[in-house]
């Protein structure tokens, strides 16, 4: 019984140590990183979305998650943009390397943005 308790304790300690090691591979972005990353993602999202809209105005990007590991960053976001005929939004994921967007995937579109992209024959979301 004593060996079983000791083995359970050793396994729990090893699992806890591994979780700290795995968690430290990616850390939350700091405020400066969030600003830089947010601007890069907003620019990339705008370049992808604005061609399907009739005029655009203000835009806003909210980072839902932001994780950094060295020069590599991954983020989930929600991008809002005001078009000539209303508010549009898209949710997505981005991977950045060296401060530049290396990959941007839109995962969910507002109904009006989905309709606008379909009418222009442009597939925006990766559904």
We report the CATH number of the domain holding residue 80 as 3.10.450
Query: Could you tell me which residue, 97 or 15, shows the higher pLDDT?
Result: 97
Domain presence at residue 73: yes
64 is a domain residue: yes
Number of domains in the chain: 1
User: Domain range spanning residue 64?
Assistant: 27-120
Evaluate whether 67 touches 102 at the Cβ level (below 8 Å): no
Q: Pick from 100, 84, 83: which is nearest to 46 by CA?
A: 83
Query: In this structure, is residue 8 part of a structural domain?
Result: no
Distance between CA atoms of residues 72 and 81, nearest Å: 27
pLDDT in tens, 95-116: 999 889 999 999 999 999 999 9
The verdict on residue 21 lying in a domain is no
5 within domain boundaries:
no
């Amino acid at each position: 019984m004593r060996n079983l308790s000791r083995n359970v304790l050793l396994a729990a300690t090893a699992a806890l140590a591994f979780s700290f090691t795995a968690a430290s591979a990616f850390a939350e972005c700091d405020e400066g990183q969030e600003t830089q990353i947010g601007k890069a993602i907003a620019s990339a999202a705008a370049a992808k979305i604005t061609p399907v809209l009739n005029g655009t105005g203000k835009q806003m990007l909210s980072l839902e998650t932001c994780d950094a590991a060295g020069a590599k960053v991954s983020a989930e976001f929600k991008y809002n943009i005001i078009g000539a005929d209303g508010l549009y939004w898209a949710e997505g994921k981005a991977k950045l390397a060296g401060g530049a967007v290396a990959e941007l995937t839109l995962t969910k579109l507002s109904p009006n943005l989905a309709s606008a992209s379909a009418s222009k024959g442009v597939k925006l979301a990766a559904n």
